[in-house]
Amino acid sequence: MLIRPNIFPKSIKDAFVTGFVFIIIPLIYYFEPLVVLPRYYKQWSLWYNFHFFMASIILFNVSSNLLAIIICDTSIRGRVLPTNWTSNWRYCSVCESVAPPRSWHCNTCNVCILKRDHHCIFTGCCIGHENHRYFLVFVFYMFVATVYASYYNVYFLWDYINLGSWSSIAKIVFPLATLFMEWTENQLHVFFIIIVLLGGAFTGALLCFHIDLMLRGVVTFERNEKSKYDRGKMENMKIVLGKKWYLVWLSPWIESELTCDGINWSNAFSEKAK
């Protein structure tokens, strides 16, 4: 893995959103086991320990995959690029370098990204060939975490938050605005619960969208086109997740060699002909 020379967000918007992600993840991890779970299980009982352990495993995968996304350099920097390039290649005047097929220049990162999918404001960097695996697993565990937490959060909200007035409903519909006007422990809990619910809906939709793209062998910019690089669902998955695709869900530190270098692309027909 090549390491990005500068891992910090390049824009104010990226810095704000990425900063929010880095703050809210540990806060939610604190909130769920120490505030919500004790309402249902005696602290350090068997079931409490089980859920605490599961939450810790999920946190490990969320945080470590997030870190891997950010530090992994998926640009053309430091890559050995051929001097005699074909018509599928192009010249990037900003990078002053040739760029392989499926690479795009990101104006925010100010560099061409190998097999660029999109620029992610939640991580402050581009998602491309080298960190695509970490992004998918990160979104997967974020979805698992939010659904897992929401199961208990809904009951917690129903049992321990007063919903008997319009003002109480307004606190749920506008949690952040109400939090600024009424900084109380209960309102902070409502804010966390709504964030988790919205996060579950968002990451669920995002996960379905990107898994569909992966299985079709396309990236976001190619989603409305018939892919020239579609090699079948299994091979498409190995291009993103690597040869050990079945193990990458356990930890980002498990090595899984990608079946393509992100530079030399062949279409499905030429691959089948070999």
Specify whether 120 is catalytic.
yes
Q: How many whole angstroms separate alpha carbon 83 and alpha carbon 85?
A: 6
Helix axes 12-31, 185-216, angle to 10 degrees: 110
Q: What is the DSSP letter of 242?
A: -
Instruction: Please identify which of the residues 72, 106, 112, 120 carries the catalytic annotation.
Output: 120
Runs of H (alpha helix) within the chain: 12-31, 46-71, 132-160, 166-173, 175-181, 185-216, 233-241, 268-273
For the chain, the farthest-separated pair of C-alpha atoms sits apart, in whole angstroms, at 72
- 3-state SS assignment for residue 97: strand
Residues 268 and 274: their CA atoms lie apart, in Å, by 10
Distance of alpha carbon 192 from alpha carbon 89, whole angstroms: 47
Please identify every residue annotated as catalytic. 120
